[in-house]
């Protein structure tokens, strides 16, 4: 029996790029259907993440024009990770596999063929991984690759050069639904589910239209969220660093006492101020990291919903009837 595929596409203020890339997604879906790799019941699902432009109106129009297009919209903007999660959770009971991909057309859509093939051969998760970053600037390439390396060093298990372009089976999604974190970092959470996984490699293109919604500031915030959501290694590093500072301070005290007795001490405020500033700075950094964890605990214990769907194109079609 041919599997049902849902292509899940988060959208935020994509009125410029959506009219261009929608044909790419539809044609790829129909190609996979014609090759009898997936069922004709497969769909392209757009997830509107509270866009302020006409993105949702475009999605509704597409859904009326072709049954292979469907869409849902969140009640407000909640961020890329929550939008992807909303689409996956909405799709998991309607299909056998999902492929999440951004709307901007940068990820090579032809990699979907290999993803589906890997699923048919037994893989439950297939990660789309960039083979190279030749189109990136030196700064972008350095920061992006450093992003993955730092995450792994800090204990967040991620696939190098993989973002959120991946195939996931409904079996995995049913287990993933048991992960109740409010602070989401999907590319680090899916490896925790387990099951057989593999990777396919592709070259990324330039954005077709519009502007990127992931500048350096957001990338850094995402990295910090990933580290603090998936690992307690920073706290352990603080503890180790605290012991080192305490040891150095203890040695410094002993040396000072010895110098006092042998009469070689030099009275001065510079060394005193330097030590005070150093220790104070360490304390403030440690308090900041601990505060970040406490803040995440605060958000988690509230158990607020991670997404709220306000409309579905399928419901709108029913009203029209």
Same domain, 55 and 167: yes
Domain boundary residue, one of 211, 242, 273: 211
Torsion over CA: 144, 148, 149, 150 (sign)? positive
Q: What is the pLDDT of residues 304-319, one digit of tens each?
A: 677 788 888 877 666 6
Residues 6+ apart with CB under 8 A from 206: 106, 135
Same domain, 199 and 260: no
Residue 186 pLDDT level (bands cut at 50, 70, 90): confident
The answer to whether position 94 is within a domain reads: yes
Flag whether 85 is in a domain.
yes
Q: Please tell me whether residues 172 and 30 are part of one structural domain.
A: yes
The mean per-residue pLDDT over the stretch 67-78 comes to 91
In this structure, of 84-93, 128-137, 182-191, 231-240, the range with the lowest mean pLDDT score is: 231-240
Would the pLDDT of 271 be above 70?
no
Report CA torsion sign: 193, 197, 203, 208.
negative
Same domain for 176 and 111 = yes
Whether residue 206 is found in the same domain as residue 239: no
Residue 104 lies in a domain: yes
Q: Do 39 and 186 sit in the same domain of this protein?
A: yes
Q: Is the pLDDT of residue 203 over 90?
A: no
Among 137, 75, 73, 127, residue whose Cα is nearest residue 101: 127
CATH number at 200 reads 3.90.550.10
CB 17 within 8 A of CB 210: yes
Domain membership flag for residue 220: no
Asked, for residue 216, whether it belongs to a domain, the answer is no
d(CA 36, CA 33): 5
Residue 272, judged by CB atoms within 10 A of its CB (0-12, 13-18, 19+), counts as: exposed
Cα Rg of the chain (Å, integer):
25
What average pLDDT score do residues 279-296 get? 70
Question: Is 245 domain-assigned?
Answer: yes
Same domain for 189 and 254, yes or no, is: no
pLDDT higher than 70, residue 91: yes
Task: Give the least confident one: 36-45, 90-99, 110-119, 203-212.
Answer: 203-212
Window from 203-207, 250-254, 290-294 with minimum mean pLDDT = 250-254
Q: For residues 268 and 177, state if they share a domain.
A: no
In a domain, 10, yes or no: yes
State which residues form the domain around 52. 5-136+162-211
268 has pLDDT over 80: no
Q: How many helices (H) and strands (E) does the chain have?
A: 11, 8
């Amino acid at each position: 029996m041919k599997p049902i595929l849902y292509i899940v596409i988060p959208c935020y203020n994509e009125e410029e790029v959506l009219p261009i890339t929608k044909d790419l997604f539809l044609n790829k879906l129909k190609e996979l259907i014609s090759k009898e790799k997936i069922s004709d019941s497969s769909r392209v699902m757009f997830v509107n993440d509270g866009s302020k432009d006409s993105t949702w109106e475009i999605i509704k129009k597409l859904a009326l024009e072709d049954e292979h297009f469907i869409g849902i919209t969140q009640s407000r903007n909640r961020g890329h990770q929550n939008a992807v999660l909303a689409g996956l959770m909405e799709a998991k009971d309607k299909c056998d596999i999902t492929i999440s991909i951004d709307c901007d057309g940068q990820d090579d859509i032809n990699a979907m063929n290999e993803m589906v093939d890997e699923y048919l051969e037994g893989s439950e998760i297939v990660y789309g991984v960039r083979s190279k970053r030749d189109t990136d600037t030196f700064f972008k390439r350095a920061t992006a690759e450093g992003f993955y390396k730092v995450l792994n060093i800090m204990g967040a298990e991620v696939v190098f050069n993989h973002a959120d372009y991946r195939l996931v089976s409904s079996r995995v999604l049913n287990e993933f639904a048991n992960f109740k974190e409010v602070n989401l970092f999907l590319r680090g959470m899916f490896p925790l589910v387990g099951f057989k996984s593999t990777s396919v490699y592709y070259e990324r293109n330039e954005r077709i239209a519009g502007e990127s919604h992931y500048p350096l500031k957001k990338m850094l915030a995402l990295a910090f969220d990933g580290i603090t959501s998936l690992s307690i290694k920073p706290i352990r590093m603080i503890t180790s660093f605290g012991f080192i500072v305490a040891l150095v301070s203890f040695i410094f005290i002993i040396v000072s006492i010895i110098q006092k007795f042998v009469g070689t001490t030099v009275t001065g405020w510079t060394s005193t101020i330097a030590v005070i500033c150093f220790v104070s700075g360490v304390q403030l950094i440690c308090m900041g990291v601990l505060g970040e964890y406490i803040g995440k605990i605060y958000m988690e214990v509230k158990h607020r919903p991670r997404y709220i769907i306000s409309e579905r194109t399928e419901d709108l079609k029913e009203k029209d009837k």
